Amino acid sequence: MSAVPSVSYSITVRLEVPAGGAAVSQLTSAVEHAGGTITALDVTASGHERLRIDVTCAARDTEHSDVLVAAMSAVPGVVIGKVSDRTFLMHLGGKIEMRSKHPIRNRDDLSMIYTPGVARVSLAIAKNKEDARRLTSKRNSIAVITDGSAVLGLGNIGPEAALPVMEGKAALFSRFAEIDAWPLCLDTQDVEEIISVVKAVSPGFAGINLEDISAPRCFEIEARLREMLDIPVFHDDQHGTAIVVLAALYNALRVVDKPIDSVNIVMSGAGAAGTAVIKLLLSAGVQHLVVADIAGVVHPGREGITGQLAWLAAHTNKLGLTGTLKDAIVGADVFIGVSAPGLLTGDDIAKMADRAIVFALANPDPEVDPAEASQHAEVVATGRSDFPNQINNVLAFPGVFRGLLDAHSSEITTSMLLAAAKALASVVTDEELNASYIMPSVFHVDVHHTVATAVRRAAGGPAELPTDTEVTL
């Protein structure tokens, strides 16, 4: 539940009140006393005796929305009409669409856009498949693919329920990087089928963005597709998370004046996101890192260490620590959580080193209450938008793919991920940097261009983008 009213639970209530008198001010008071926040109040019709008003207010959750409506209906003379959930209204009919880039006004247009003219373009591509990047939407298109098995924090809710999330992802690609992203929600959770389907549809895309596929299957799916395909395969839950966490760490370490190769980092979470974060942190020069999961600290002697856990046990925890997360965090410089809510308390954070850094990224409820953590740690970040220092994947994935597409890259490498993280961190200048501002806003004018440029150059693309002025056949 959101601790404070949120636009995510915003409703608009159409109601009628008596003209004149104190009904409007009573409405405002009723909503405020019920814990809501009025964000707009619009008179949509007026008569001598009655006013029709649209009241828009933010609630804490769905149940709280009902409480606010009940509070308004209790005001004398108020008649409740239609109640609209603004979030659901935004999703009606979906959030994305396909548009033609050229008008089809007459037979000449039709003959060039479709038959018979299109046949010449098809024959040119048949002779040279690489021309598909120049002559079709492939050059700027990616597939956003999920099986619905690990959607947000909602779990295995299936492909249909995943579609609103994938549409949202596609909308963000368009808004922040001018990329055409197409959501493909697969009605299978079989590894072989997923790989087969993605391989089959890949000719129409210049990149693949895997999304919300549960671990450990996501590791195999991504690895095998990278081997099979000649286009980059990016798993945002892994690599997008890793980029933004590393960028935030770079800047948090600037605040506390500690070098990355000397800090002691403790992580909670050894799933897809946690594993990717750990691998990128190690590539960035981190030397001292311990990870814990639900069974405690990961180390080679622990029972049941197989698969990715075996890799983590072999590459982390150089001092051979055992015990629980609470044991490991004592004296640590940095805590990074990508796991579950409420694992730590303010007392646990108090046992960390001086000038500690806490990234509590479980969403919507973090591993430790940010207010409690802030009493003891110098820098605190979460995945939420209602606290300072939001660490959000949307800071990374649009620019990363823009850079990959502009470079015509056939793969994505660790050096590109590192370049993206450094570029993202650099957007926050020395003059702007402080303990409450280590990450830029997703709407910062420089974020996505800076990340795209860094990835493009790391991928071996041109220093400056050429402008297409003609087509040579």
Q: Render pLDDT for 122-153 as a digit per residue (tens, 0 to 9).
A: 999 999 999 999 999 999 999 999 999 999 87
Which residues of the chain are under the pLDDT cut of 50?
1, 469, 472
pLDDT of res. 293:
93
The strand pairing partners of 6, in sequence order, are 59
Of the residues 169, 258, 279, 422, only one is catalytic, namely 169
pLDDT of res. 468:
57
Identify the three-state secondary structure at position 59.
Answer: strand
| Cis peptide bond upstream of 216, omega within 30 | yes
DSSP for 128-196, written as a single string:
-GGGHHHHSGGGGEEEEEE-SSSBTTTBS--HHHHHHHHHHHHHHHHHHH--EEEEEE-S---HHHHHH
Catalytic annotation present for 169 = yes
Catalytic annotation present for 422 = no
pLDDT of res. 122:
95
pLDDT of res. 2:
52
pLDDT of res. 467:
63
DSSP for 253-297, written as a single string:
HHHHT--TTT-EEEEE--SHHHHHHHHHHHHTT--EEEEEETTEE
Catalogue all structural domains in the chain, each as residue range(s) with its CATH number. Answer: 6-91 (3.30.70.260), 122-231 (3.40.50.10380), 248-473 (3.40.50.720)
Query: Would you say 191 and 221 are in contact if contact means Cβ atoms under 8 Å apart?
Result: yes
Quote the Cα angle for 271-275-281, to 5°.
150
C-alpha closest to that of 466 among 411, 408, 409 = 408
Of the residues 82, 95, 101, 114, only one is catalytic, namely 114
Distance CA 335, CA 345 (A): 12
Please report, in angstroms and rounded to a whole number, the separation of the first and last CA atoms in the chain.
Answer: 59
Query: Would you say 285 and 261 are in contact if contact means Cβ atoms under 8 Å apart?
Result: yes
Residue 377 has phi, psi (to 5 degrees) of -95, 150
Residue entry with tokens 């959000």 = 392
pLDDT of res. 469:
46
C-alpha closest to that of 241 among 221, 206, 269, 208 = 269
Quote the Cα angle for 35-38-44, to 5°.
140
